[in-house]
Structure 1
Amino acid sequence: MIQKIATVAIYVEDQHKAKTFWTEKVGFEVVRETPMGPNAFWLEVAPPGAQSALVIYPRSMMKNYAELKPSIVFVTENIQATYERMKSKGVEFEGELQEMQWGTFATFKDEDGHSFLIKG
């Protein structure tokens, strides 16, 4: 039986820029950073204490990166506080918080234009 999601890959143009976005703006930690050839490294970031991580992978090493789209939902206990903190740090949201029968959510974008969802 599968126990958890280990990693989800996100394909980016600039790993350094993406690292700054995920650590300084979103508040994740670097879980692993290992050299991986010229001008590239294996980079995993995750929320503090999480069992799953995002792999921030260079587009230059994936010929079909344009076809590979992430679909990731992040869960938070206090959606309002998380939304406000991320917004104050410059994270671009596609709108205000939305309430549905299954919870409250908002969609945000990273530096490469990928969309992600936070829900509470």
Structure 2
Amino acid sequence: MINIVGQIMLYVNNQEESLKFWTEKAGFSLISEQDNGQGMKWFEIAPTKDAQTSIVLHNKELVAQFSPEVNLGTPSLLFFTKDLDQMYKDFSDKNITVGEVVNVPEGRVFNFADDEGNYFAIVEKK
């Protein structure tokens, strides 16, 4: 039986720039960096060092080359925060592209884009 989502694969065009976005702008932590010595490397990031689920940044071009059957589309990720207004201000102050705060049945939410134009969302969960 599956009891947790362990890692989410995010395929990006520029791993180093994506890593900078997630760690310097979005506030994630670098959990690990792997390099297989044959051109494949990846970065594992998470909102906190002890998070149960992490995101792994993979090189989209290399994955397409070695595993053409893999869906390279951006996953639709919804993050949680306890203070949406502060998160919105922090992201805006860091020049992250953000959408308007809107009310949905789950609560207040806004979307944001990474530096490659991939969109994600953050909802307030108190």
TM-score (norm 1): 0.89
Letter of the structure 2 residue corresponding to residue 42 of structure 1: W
Q: Which runs of 5+ in 1 are unaligned?
A: none
How many residues get paired? 119
1:40 CA drift (Å)? 4.1
Counterpart for residue 85 of structure 1: 90
- Aligned identity (percent) is 29
1:34 CA drift (Å)? 1.0
Matched residue of 2:86: which SS? helix
Deviation string 1:27-66 (CA, Å, 9 cap, x unpaired) is 0000110113455422110001311111101012122577
RMSD: 1.7
Matched residue of 1:105: which SS? strand
Q: C-alpha separation between the residues in 1 aligned to 2:40 and 2:92? A: 29
Counterpart for residue 120 of structure 2: 116
Larger radius of gyration: 2
Q: C-alpha separation between the residues in 1 aligned to 2:51 and 2:60? A: 25
CA contact (8 A) 1:28 1:47 kept: yes
Counterpart for residue 80 of structure 2: 75
CA contact (8 A) 2:9 2:58 kept: yes
Counterpart for residue 46 of structure 1: 46
CA contact (8 A) 1:36 1:42 kept: no
Counterpart for residue 59 of structure 2: 58
Q: Which runs of 5+ in 2 are unaligned?
A: none
